[in-house]
């Protein structure tokens, strides 16, 4: 099989994996995926990593298109993903329906798991939420940052502490065994991020990339995307 290189934010990993068997059978190309915080993935692309397909936030894809790193007019939106709170499956879900309730839940937690607050979409936003809630300094010693959302959620699921909690994007929570999705962040703290796919400017399999974009964004696939956390 020929290789098909995908550079993707972690929020879309489960979706890519769900389509892998069909795509590989239909094209004879094996997906070689690199998934992680969007800032890290962008930097890999700019450093010259092979990329037939790039999946990042709509803002980053627009910037990459402007600067000539993805094929002009190849971009299509996959869907939106909300940032949310998670707990271990055996733990009671805290109330987080308002900013005050979220503040109380975070102050009660003895560990707070999150993706990289400098390069991950959810991590950057959640760090801002902590500041806006006025508790960033109070919970700083409880923060457990990971390179990306999926790694953060695996750490939450494996935590041995008494009252851990986590925050990342819904798709990464749903893809992690042992966790329950509590709810998206309350309206005053909410983040809904659009993810967009485009063909890399140096793609070696541009035709296959266009085919995969059609699979990722098709109307018949909307229900499957919804089940994985896209809205």
User: What DSSP assignment string belongs to 104-143?
Assistant: HHHHH-SEEEEE-TTT-HHHHHHHHHHHHTT-HHHHGGGE
Model confidence, pTM: 0.95
- Whether the per-residue pLDDT at 207 is higher than 90: the answer is yes
Is residue 86 within 8 Å of 179, Cβ to Cβ? yes
- Whether the per-residue pLDDT at 168 is higher than 90: the answer is yes
pLDDT value at residue 139: 98
Domains, the chain, ordered by start:
2-79+194-228 (3.40.190.10), 81-189 (3.40.190.10)
User: Could you identify the residue written with the tokens 């986590």?
Assistant: 166
Q: pLDDT-derived band of residue 229, with 50, 70 and 90 as boundaries?
A: very high
73-82 pLDDT, tens per residue? 999 999 999 9
42-69 pLDDT, tens per residue? 999 999 999 999 999 999 999 999 999 9
Please list, in sequence order, all residues whose beta carbon lies within 8 angstroms of the beta carbon of residue 179, skipping any fewer than 6 positions away: 86, 87, 88, 89, 153, 156, 157, 166, 173
Secondary structure of residue 187 in the 3-state scheme: helix
Q: What angle do CA 69, 38, 129 make, to 5 degrees?
A: 140
pLDDT value at residue 102: 98
User: Could you identify the residue written with the tokens 């879900």?
Assistant: 93
Q: pLDDT-derived band of residue 157, with 50, 70 and 90 as boundaries?
A: very high
pLDDT value at residue 56: 98
| Average pLDDT over every residue of 10-27 | 97
Q: pLDDT-derived band of residue 1, with 50, 70 and 90 as boundaries?
A: confident
83-141 pLDDT, tens per residue? 999 999 999 999 999 999 999 999 999 999 999 999 999 999 999 999 999 999 999 99
């Amino acid at each position: 099989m020929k290789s098909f290189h995908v550079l993707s934010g972690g929020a879309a990993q489960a979706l890519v994996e769900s389509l892998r068997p069909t795509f590989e059978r239909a094209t004879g190309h094996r997906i070689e995926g690199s998934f992680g915080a969007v800032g890290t993935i962008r930097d890999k692309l700019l450093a010259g990593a092979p990329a037939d397909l790039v999946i990042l936030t709509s803002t980053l894809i627009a910037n990459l298109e402007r600067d000539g790193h993805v094929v002009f007019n190849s971009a299509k939106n996959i869907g939106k993903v909300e940032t949310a709170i998670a707990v271990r499956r055996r733990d009671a879900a805290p109330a987080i329906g308002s900013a005050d309730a979220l503040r109380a839940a975070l102050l009660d937690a003895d560990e707070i798991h999150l993706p990289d607050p400098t390069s991950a979409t959810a991590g950057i936003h959640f760090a801002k939420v902590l500041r806006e809630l006025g508790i960033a300094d109070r919970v700083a010693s409880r923060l457990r940052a990971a390179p990306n959302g999926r790694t953060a959620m695996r750490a939450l699921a494996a935590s041995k502490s008494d009252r851990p909690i986590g925050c990342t994007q819904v798709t990464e929570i749903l893809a992690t065994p042992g966790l329950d999705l509590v709810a998206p962040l309350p309206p005053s703290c909410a983040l809904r991020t659009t993810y967009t796919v485009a063909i890399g400017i140096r793609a070696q399999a541009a035709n296959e990339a266009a085919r995969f974009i059609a699979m990722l964004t098709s109307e018949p696939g909307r229900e499957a995307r919804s089940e994985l956390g896209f809205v």
